[in-house]
Amino acid sequence: MKHVAVLMGGISGEREVSLSSGAQVVAALQRAGMQVTPIDVTDDLPALIAALTPRPDVVFNALHGRWGEDGAIQGVLEWLNVPYTHSGVRASAMAMDKSVARAVFAQAGLPVAAGRLVTPAELAEADPLPLPYVVKPINEGSSIGVEILFGGDNRRQEIASRWHYGPLVLVEEFIPGRELTVGVLGDRALAVTEITASHAFYDYESKYQEGGSRHLLPAPIPPTAAALACELALKAHQALGLSGASRTDFRYDDTAGEPGRLVILETNAQPGLTPLSLLPEQAAYCGIDFAALCAWMVEHAACRE
């Protein structure tokens, strides 16, 4: 019987999301007939190493956010020489850093929004891009810290004054239209989902509160656009050197009619696995139930760096 340790919780702003993902994964792997040890990860690294001794056959990384999907915990697992799910150190770090991922996508010829890095002081002083534009932390997930500034919005200085996500701010042009996402498993793009949020955009509450969003699967877009979204998601996965599962989010600007314009927002190297998450929903649409999805991730676990 394969022994799998499931890491969950963590110390990022996505701790509660990770605990939800982890609980789902533990139950699924137990249904798949595996011996499962759940580990609530805190800031006590020696305690984590002790919990992984003796080493399990595989670590299922259900952590989200900083220190969980940015290469940090992956480095610890490499040092312990234990196979783990999802992507390796370098790929995880690149995917988590939105400015680096943008550069990788652009180098690969993939479509990204116009944008730049500024300091909070520069943001406070003047609009860094023509309105409307989006303000993002470089290395947070689940839309934490994301703001959209439209014409007439006077929140720019307030946002800059309370910025606590690091020394730099990523600003990008706002792309009108619809929100799409595509999950990838290995070398296969799963499907295209359109997300309609109850808030102004697909923010943290929309993602994790019951009724916060609607998922239209398959997305009601032209077949050519859906095929291109799948192609771009797979290319983004490959450009970053990701392993296992990922999910790429897009804006689809069809405001001027069809065919619309697809723009990559970001690629998530460790998609959520909560009851409201998109990757399991797409997998189920493709005939892969949640237990089989988690078992697939375990079977494709490895040491990579």
Check if 249 is active-site: yes
Is 61 tagged catalytic? no
Contact at 8 Å (CB) between 303 and 82? yes
Which of 150, 115, 119 lies closest to 129 in space, CA to CA? 115
Q: Give the integer Cα–Cα distance in Å for 61 and 7.
A: 5
Q: Would you say 247 and 257 are in contact if contact means Cβ atoms under 8 Å apart? A: no
Write down the catalytic residue from 243, 246, 268, 277.
268
Catalytic-residue membership of 155: no
Please identify which of the residues 252, 272, 281, 304 carries the catalytic annotation.
272
Backbone angles phi, psi at 116, to 5 degrees: -160, 165
208 is an active site residue: yes
Tell me whether residue 139 is one of the annotated catalytic residues.
Answer: no
Q: Is 52 left (phi over 0), alpha (psi -120 to 50) or beta?
A: alpha
Using CA atoms, how far residue 239 sits from 110, 235, 242, in Å, is 9, 6, 8
Q: Is 142 a catalytic residue?
A: yes
Burial 132-141 (b: 16+ CB within 10 A, else e): bbbbbbbbbb
- From the list 21, 142, 206, 213, the catalytic residue is 142
Q: Which of 208, 213, 251, 277 is catalytic?
A: 208
Residues 65, 266, 281, 304: which is the catalytic one?
266
From 13, 14, 194, 304, the catalytic residue: 14
Catalytic residue numbers read 14, 142, 208, 247, 249, 266, 268, 272
